[in-house]
């Protein structure tokens, strides 16, 4: 069977995802069922998916992971990602993350990174460093969403920023779709899109939990320590 038809049964067994990750519908497939289905992948492909998870999921990274360590992890996984044709699915979100991180660093008053320093991902690090004082780091034309992201950062609107970045990552993955292909790349792309839907549902649930807690505390008022 040709590579493009390697995972026909697996890919067609995965339910369609919603048109946008920002809706309120339930997840079309649970994490447990999805994991069970992905058990049909070859061992090498399962390893690559695990590498993708390690690179993109902050639960595997920790909050204080130094950039150098993260870059080393990326370099170690890169040949595997290239061999299985999924490098671009990781590289684009990482570059987006780098750009937003640069805006945050500058907002904190950090100076421009030293020339030649590897402080993130993508081919535009030097360019951004050289245009550190410009509002959009000189890459506004490359990333059309950056103007809006910059506005949300300036206005301290983290939820809107998160929403914007999630939508943009979703669009990048949607554009990477290859109709008529049922290969590993399509399975990986599906998984990454599913993760975005799940992340927004989780984010909503956490925000709802916080709102509920605040409401309860406000409602109880001075009777909070009744018992």
Partner 1 sequence: MEQLIVALGWAGLYGPMALGAIGSVIGCAIAGQAAIGALLETESGHGRFIGLSAMPSSQSIYGIVVMFSLQRPVTVDTAPGLFAVGILAGVALLLSAVYQGSCCASAINSAKSKPEIFGLSIAPAAIVEGFGVFAFIFALVIGGDIPLQ
Asked if residues 34 and 191 have their Cβ atoms less than 8 Å apart, the reply is yes
Minimum separation from the CB atom of position 5 to partner 1 (A) = 5
CA distances for 20 relative to 11, 156, 194, angstroms: 19, 24, 11
Residue 26 or 83: which CB sits closer to partner 1? 26
Asked if residues 166 and 143 have their Cβ atoms less than 8 Å apart, the reply is no
Minimum separation from the CB atom of position 41 to partner 1 (A) = 13
Minimum separation from the CB atom of position 10 to partner 1 (A) = 6
Minimum separation from the CB atom of position 19 to partner 1 (A) = 11
Q: Which residues bind partner 1 (CB under 8 A)?
A: 1, 5, 8-16, 37, 179-180, 182
Residue 13 or 224: which CB sits closer to partner 1? 13
Q: How many CB atoms are located within 10 Å of the residue 22 CB?
A: 15
Minimum separation from the CB atom of position 180 to partner 1 (A) = 5
Residue 30 or 154: which CB sits closer to partner 1? 30
Residue 16 or 43: which CB sits closer to partner 1? 16
Residue 116 or 180: which CB sits closer to partner 1? 180
CA distances for 207 relative to 31, 202, 203, angstroms: 21, 8, 6
DSSP string, 84-100: TT-HHHHHHHHHHHHHH
Interatomic CA distance for residues 10 and 150, integer angstroms: 40
């Amino acid at each position: 069977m040709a590579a493009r038809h390697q995972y026909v049964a697996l890919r067609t067994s995965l339910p369609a995802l919603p048109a946008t990750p920002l809706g309120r519908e339930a997840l079309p497939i649970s994490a447990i069922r999805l994991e069970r289905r992905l058990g049909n992948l070859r061992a090498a492909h399962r390893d690559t998916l695990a590498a993708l998870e390690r690179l993109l999921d902050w639960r595997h990274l920790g909050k204080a992971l130094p950039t150098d360590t993260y870059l080393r992890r990326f370099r170690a996984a890169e040949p595997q990602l290239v061999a299985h044709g999924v490098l671009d699915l990781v590289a684009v979100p990482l570059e987006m993350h780098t750009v937003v991180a640069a805006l945050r660093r500058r907002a904190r008053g950090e100076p421009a990174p030293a020339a030649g320093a590897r402080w993130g991902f993508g081919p535009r690090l030097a360019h951004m460093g050289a245009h550190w004082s410009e509002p959009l780091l000189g890459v506004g034309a490359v990333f059309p969403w950056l103007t809006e992201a910059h506005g949300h950062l300036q206005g301290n609107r983290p939820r809107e920023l998160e929403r914007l970045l999630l939508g943009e990552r979703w669009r990048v993955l949607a554009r990477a779709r290859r109709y008529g292909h049922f290969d590993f790349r399509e399975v990986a792309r599906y998984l990454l899109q599913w993760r975005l839907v799940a992340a927004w549902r989780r984010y909503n649930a956490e925000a709802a939990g916080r709102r509920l807690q605040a409401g309860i505390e406000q409602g109880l008022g001075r009777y909070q320590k009744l018992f």
